[in-house]
Amino acid sequence: MKHTFVIGASQGIGLEFVRQLLNNPEVELVFATYRNKETATGLLNLAAQFPQKLITLSMDITQEDEIEKTIQQIKEQVKELHFVINCVGILHEGDLQPEKSLRQINAQQLLRYFEVNSIGTALLAKHLMPLLRHRSRAIFATISAKIGSIGDNRLGGWYGYRASKAALNMFIRTTAIEYSRRCPKTIVVALHPGTTDTKLSEPFQKNVPPEKLFSTEKTVSQLLTVIHNLVPEHNGEFFSWDGSFLPW
């Protein structure tokens, strides 16, 4: 946990990861990305409060050149990363809304889900390899969603979001296999956070019982417990917020 990197830290779950990592004395540095300054005021205020510990970088996960540039900036400051968590994801974005039925399927929307929710993690895995190839324990985690589990799909709907998270899960599993050869100390996992009160879930919270809607504080402390308990045998697995295994 010495050098950490949070991707998608402007708001929601990612911003709370930054807050909790800043309060952890084991953590020396937190690199954190945002896309728009307008939605990143909380993160930028934290950077002003913790100038020695928090380094903010701007990056759109759909632009490979921006990913490369960001990782190059990190490489100029450290040789190793020990904890990486990708919190980027979209469920709705402007006119893009989750599809209730096949009638609403639209190729452009599907591509958008895949480029943000799935391909971004694969590009991160590609460019982060040199920083995760070292002799200390390291974690490469991404926030997925239980709704991306094919085995658990009994409700249907939300085609693009579901399929993009299922693809993300496959990228994670496949990365875990390659990393076991190239970055053998890095444990690669997908994590389901549980329904969490953020901008992403906000339009869909009506039918969620209050005890099943977590605050970002609760979600992140639960996920940090899962992360803390990871051992090498967990490489390539998909975990829920309570530490239980989820079916692919």
Ligand X SMILES: NC(=O)c1ccc[n+]([C@@H]2O[C@H](COP(=O)([O-])OP(=O)(O)OC[C@H]3O[C@@H](n4cnc5c(N)ncnc54)[C@H](OP(=O)(O)O)[C@@H]3O)[C@@H](O)[C@H]2O)c1
Closer residue to ligand X (CB): 89 or 98: 89
DSSP letter string, the chain? --EEEEES-SSHHHHHHHHHHHT-TT--EEEEEES-STT-HHHHHHHHH-TTTEEEEE--TT-HHHHHHHHHHHHTT-S--SEEEE----S-BTTB---SSGGG--HHHHHHHHIIIIIHHHHHHHHHHHHH-SSS-EEEEEE--GGG-STT--S---HHHHHHHHHHHHHHHHHHHHHHHHSTTEEEEEE---SB-STTTGGG-TTS-GGGSB-HHHHHHHHHHHHHT--GGGTTEEE-TTS-B---
Least Å distance between CB 15 and ligand X?
Answer: 7
The mark string for 128-157 relative to ligand X (x by CB under 6 A, - otherwise) is ---------------x-x------------
Least Å distance between CB 143 and ligand X?
Answer: 4
Closer residue to ligand X (CB): 28 or 213: 213
Interaction of residue 200 with ligand X, rule CB under 6 A: yes
- Binding residue for ligand X (CB under 6 A) from 193, 235, 237, 241? 193
DSSP 8-state secondary structure symbol assigned to residue 148: G
Least Å distance between CB 61 and ligand X?
Answer: 4
- Binding residue for ligand X (CB under 6 A) from 14, 98, 160, 236? 14
Least Å distance between CB 171 and ligand X?
Answer: 13
Least Å distance between CB 105 and ligand X?
Answer: 20
Interface of this chain with ligand X, residues 27 to 86, rule: CB under 6 A: 35-36, 39, 60-62
User: The tokens of 117 are what?
Assistant: 């929710």
User: Going by C-beta distance under 8 Å and a sequence separation of 6 or more, which residues neighbour residue 57?
Assistant: 31, 32, 33, 34, 70, 73, 74
Closer residue to ligand X (CB): 69 or 181: 69
Closer residue to ligand X (CB): 180 or 201: 201
Least Å distance between CB 87 and ligand X?
Answer: 5
Least Å distance between CB 60 and ligand X?
Answer: 4
User: The tokens of 229 are what?
Assistant: 């308990």
Positions in the binding site for ligand X (CB under 6 A): 8, 10-14, 35-36, 39, 60-62, 87-90, 116, 143, 145, 193, 195-196, 198-201
